[in-house]
Amino acid sequence: MKRKIEYTDEPLGKVRVVNDFLPSPEELAFKEETVKVTISLSKASVEFFKKAAKTHHTQYQKMIRRLLDEYAASQS
Q: From first to last of its 76 residues, what are the pLDDT tens digits of the chain?
A: 678 888 888 888 898 998 888 877 777 777 788 899 999 999 999 999 999 999 999 999 999 999 998 899 899 8
Q: 50 with 63: CB under 8 angstroms? A: no
CA angle 35, 39, 47 (to 5 degrees): 115
Residue at 3 is within a domain: no
The parent domain of residue 67 ranges over 40-76
Say if 29 falls within a structural domain. Answer: no
Q: What is the reported pLDDT for 22?
A: 82
* 60 domain residue, yes or no: yes
Q: Determine the 3-state secondary structure of 33 from DSSP.
A: coil
Max CA-CA distance within the chain? Answer: 59
Q: What integer pLDDT is reported at residue 24 of this predicted model? A: 78
Report yes or no on 53 lying in a domain.
Answer: yes
Q: What domain count does the chain have?
A: 1
